[in-house]
Amino acid sequence: MSVAARTADRMQARRAALARGRLGVTSAIAALVATSFGVRTALAWLRDTPTFFADEYIYAELARSLAESGRPLIRGASASFPALLQPLLTAPAWLVDDVEVSFRLVQGLGALLMSLAAIPVFLLARRLGLTARTGLALAALALLVPDAIYSGFVLSEPIAYPLTLAAVLAGLGALVRPGPRAQLAFLALAGVATLARAQFAVLPLCLLGACVLMGLRERRLRAALREQVLVLAVVVVPIVGLLALGPATALGFYEDVLEVELASPALAKWAGADLMLLAYASGVVLAPGALLGLWLAVGRPRSRQELAFGGLATVLAAALVLEAAVWGIDGSRIQERYFFYAVPLVGIAFALYASRGWPHRLAHAGLAAGLVAVAARVPLSGFAASDGKTNAPTLFAAARLEQLLGDVGLASLVVSLAVALLLGAVVAATRRPASAGAVALGLALAASATASAAAVSFGLANAARTAGNVLPADPSFVDRSGVTGAAMLQTGSSQRGYASAYLFWNRSVDDVYLLPGAEPPDSFAVTRLTIAPDGRLLAAGEPVTRPLLVDGFSDTLRFRASEGVAAGPIYRLLRSDDAQRLALYFRGRYADGWLGLRGTAQLWPDGPEGLRGTVSLRLTAPAATPPVAVKLEPQGGPAEEIIVAPGGSREVSFPACAPGPWQLEFAAPSTGSVGGRFVSVRASEPIYRPDPAACRTTRSP
């Protein structure tokens, strides 16, 4: 065989080997995505009900409206909600005439889309010269992040996650080889990501920030900016439009961000907390190496690709943390859902550092020690308390650990020890740089998988608890009742989350009515009611005749001539042949009879003669408390203080004499907490007895 023939054979064999390698890598990525899709879908379908309100209701309602009318409306009114990609993509699922089926279809789509995030992460790793094995590990890390729990939520995160990472990949190309095609690809992906989540309007700004860093590093800033003139134009035009329209008008649903003070200690506090959670969400052990990796990528890049990634990843991560801190101030909580998109970038930055052979090991050990100190000094339990964890799945995992151990302090100690052991193992492994990277990635994957499993467990238990305590066995009971045109009625003590849950499951409830003093369940269309002297509910001065889904838990409401059709633990469905008329509105009395700390009982007459009689009720104090002093102030009479003995009862009565409604105000000290509610004593429903003689006598104390 000639030399030319042997050379040709070797080249053909090499091409075949490369093809087999590409096929193997493609198969591995496909298997990773398919496995994630299957597991995430199965876990999502174990979730009994949405719990992240009002967001999940908002996205569902927008998608329903798009499916039915082609317009993005919430309860028939314009929503001014810019993040419409999720409703647009999920609208076909809501064409199914069953909320349960539609919910499961949306969850399946979310699991698929979130699993696709593995692809841009792998491509980013390969473009930066990392090995295929490292790229697969980083792709797995992106799918094991605790925030992947959102794949089973009716939210925009499952769509925004792969799109944002794809935009970073396109942005890398636009920075390294600037040109219209690469820039348009980046801008298109950035635009679609912004349509999924408005926070990603910062992506073009981040690209320009990275361009400035590259220009300064390469000492060609003007030339670098000229190369990005297309991106500059796209950034400048919206800013001019924003100024012309007015920021509040342009931001719409997100206008509250304008009230945040950027130069404040509170912003620094929440930014620091967000950075700490970013380290935890990234598997803890990667954070020190990632910081060094970004510093080296910008300060001593081995290629333009690495410099571009270092600049873009640094600016984007800083922007996401800043956004999270801004919203953290507003809600006094860690907003992990705003910055978890940076987790794959942390992983890639770490891998770039490890691929250099672990330089600056002393600095790495110092950063690791600092992270251990932070873990010991700032326990997660402080952030995981009450509602502080609602936007942070990593805190779901911390809360689940606290539940398992039954002790918050012990859980914090376990977390601190785990952080110390994991980081100590990585620092020890750096003595053998060749294998240290694999050790660190393996530990990070194990930590992320554990945290993700704990977050899923917590989320499923929370959904099961909500379904069992808040919703009936058939949560869509209004839709299935045959009653049409029902409106939800909110009382002064109604809780927003309960309202959103019932609105989500009952798409036929297309309006929300508010009694005087009631707060809306969200930022969208509501109708405020007034009450006529005879108890009729009035909307814009007209009697309300439509069926009502009434909050029967938070306050006590009784209607005249209204028929109960169906009921759940919180709301009941009432219809009337005439106008809906109130007989009793006892604000501050729960369905189980407990009174809050203050409130008012109002009664309306049944006829034109008004109220001429007595109103009586029985007060009962808990057994394990001191005597309880309940202050009662009836309309038209002096205030009285009623002392109720521990475990005892007192019946009280008052003359009720009025041509229209009559009221009784109460105030009492707290005797404890029941179901998360501060309560005082129990009270029976007030009973009205006609007795004209009661209005001709003076009540003695």
Q: What is the mean pLDDT of the chain?
A: 90
In sequence order, what are the residues at sequence separation of 6 or more whose Cβ sits closer than 8 angstroms to the Cβ of residue 66?
Answer: 72, 87, 88, 91
pLDDT band at residue 624 using 50, 70 and 90 as cut-offs: confident
DSSP state of 519: P
Residues 608 and 585 reside in one and the same domain: no
The model's pLDDT over 121-175, given as tens digits with 9 standing for 90+, comes to 999 999 999 999 999 999 999 999 999 999 999 999 999 999 999 999 999 999 9
pLDDT of residue 2: 61
Of 435, 466, 497, the position where a domain reaches its end is 466
Q: What angle do CA 495, 499, 505 make, to 5 degrees?
A: 150
Q: Going by DSSP bridges, is the β-strand pair 556-567/73-74 parallel, antiparallel, or unpaired?
A: unpaired
Q: Report the C-alpha gap between 66 and 392 in whole angstroms.
A: 30
Residues 252 and 312 reside in one and the same domain: yes
pLDDT of residue 255: 54
| Whole-angstrom Cα Rg for the chain | 31
Q: What is the DSSP string of 145-181?
A: SGGGGGGGSSSSHHHHHHHHHHHHHHHHHHHHS--HH
Q: What is the DSSP string of 255-322?
A: GGGGG--SSSHHHHHHHHHHHHHHHHHTTSTTHHHHHHHHHHHHHS-SSHHHHHHHHHHHHHHHHHHH
Residues 438 and 580 reside in one and the same domain: no
Which tokens hold the place of 271?
A: 């930014």
Between residues 234 and 518, which one has the greater pLDDT?
A: 518
Which helix (H) or strand (E) segment holds residue 688: the answer is strand 687-690
Which tokens hold the place of 355?
A: 């691929």
- C-alpha 392: how far from its chain's center? 8
pLDDT of residue 698: 47
pLDDT band at residue 374 using 50, 70 and 90 as cut-offs: very high
Q: Is 137 a domain residue?
A: yes
Q: Report the C-alpha gap between 587 and 556 in whole angstroms.
A: 6
Half-sphere exposure of 299 toward its Cβ, with a 13 Å CA cutoff? 7
Q: Which of 203-212, 401-410, 508-517 has the lowest mean pLDDT?
A: 401-410
Of 571, 591, 611, the position where a domain reaches its end is 591
Between residues 255 and 682, which one has the greater pLDDT?
A: 682
Q: Report the C-alpha gap between 147 and 167 in whole angstroms.
A: 19
pLDDT of residue 234: 84
Angle between helices 157-176 and 118-127 (to 10 degrees): 20
Q: Is 35 a domain residue?
A: yes
Nearest-CA neighbor of 201 among 214, 192, 211?
Answer: 192
Residues 247 and 291 reside in one and the same domain: yes
Q: How far is CA 163 from CA 81, 117, 409, 534, in A?
A: 19, 8, 39, 57
pLDDT of residue 17: 47
In sequence order, what are the residues at sequence separation of 6 or more whose Cβ sits closer than 8 angstroms to the Cβ of residue 449?
Answer: 144
Residues 281 and 378 reside in one and the same domain: yes
Which tokens hold the place of 616?
A: 């009586």
Is the pLDDT confidence value at 250 over 70? no
pLDDT band at residue 24 using 50, 70 and 90 as cut-offs: confident
Residues 575 and 612 reside in one and the same domain: no
Q: Is 471 a domain residue?
A: no
CATH assignment at residue 642: 2.60.120
Residues 274 and 323 reside in one and the same domain: yes
Sign of CA dihedral 533, 534, 535, 538: negative
Residues 201 and 66 reside in one and the same domain: yes
Is the pLDDT confidence value at 452 over 70? yes
pLDDT of residue 701: 36
Query: Which SS3 state, helix, strand or coil, does residue 83 take?
Result: coil
Residues 131 and 209 reside in one and the same domain: yes
Q: Which of 3-7, 262-266, 372-376 has the lowest mean pLDDT?
A: 3-7
pLDDT of residue 265: 81
Is the pLDDT confidence value at 626 over 50? yes
Residues 86 and 205 reside in one and the same domain: yes
pLDDT of residue 331: 62
Residues 528 and 627 reside in one and the same domain: no
Is the pLDDT confidence value at 453 over 80? yes
- In 621-671 the beta strands, taken as DSSP E runs, fall at 628-634, 640-644, 649-658, 662-667
pLDDT of residue 646: 94
pLDDT of residue 245: 57
Angle between helices 229-245 and 180-196 (to 10 degrees): 40
pLDDT of residue 210: 96
Residue type, 354: A
b/e map of 327-366 (b: 16 or more CB within 10 Å)? bbbeeebbbbbbbbbbbbbbbbbbbbbbbbebeeeeebbe
Task: Using a pLDDT cut of 70, give the percent of the chain over it.
Answer: 91
pLDDT of residue 668: 95
**603 close to 680: Cβ distance less than 8 angstroms:** no
pLDDT of residue 699: 45
> Distance between terminal CA atoms of the chain?
121
Other CB atoms closer than 10 Å to residue 442's CB: what's the count?
14
Q: Range of 99's domain?
A: 3-466
The phi and psi torsions of 73 (rounded to 5 degrees) equal -115, 155
Q: Is 190 a domain residue?
A: yes
Residues 260 and 310 reside in one and the same domain: yes
**614 close to 655: Cβ distance less than 8 angstroms:** yes
pLDDT of residue 270: 87
pLDDT band at residue 385 using 50, 70 and 90 as cut-offs: low
Structural domain count of the chain: 3
Tell me the pTM.
0.90
What's the whole-number mean pLDDT along residues 75-95? 91
Q: Report the C-alpha gap between 263 and 399 in whole angstroms.
A: 32
Of 539, 565, 591, the position where a domain reaches its end is 591
Task: Using a pLDDT cut of 90, give the percent of the chain over it.
Answer: 80
Which helix (H) or strand (E) segment holds residue 477: the answer is helix 477-480
pLDDT of residue 58: 94
The model's pLDDT over 571-593, given as tens digits with 9 standing for 90+, comes to 999 999 899 999 999 999 999 99
- In 522-681 the beta strands, taken as DSSP E runs, fall at 527-531, 537-539, 542-543, 548-551, 556-567, 571-589, 595-603, 611-620, 628-634, 640-644, 649-658, 662-667, 672-674, 677-679
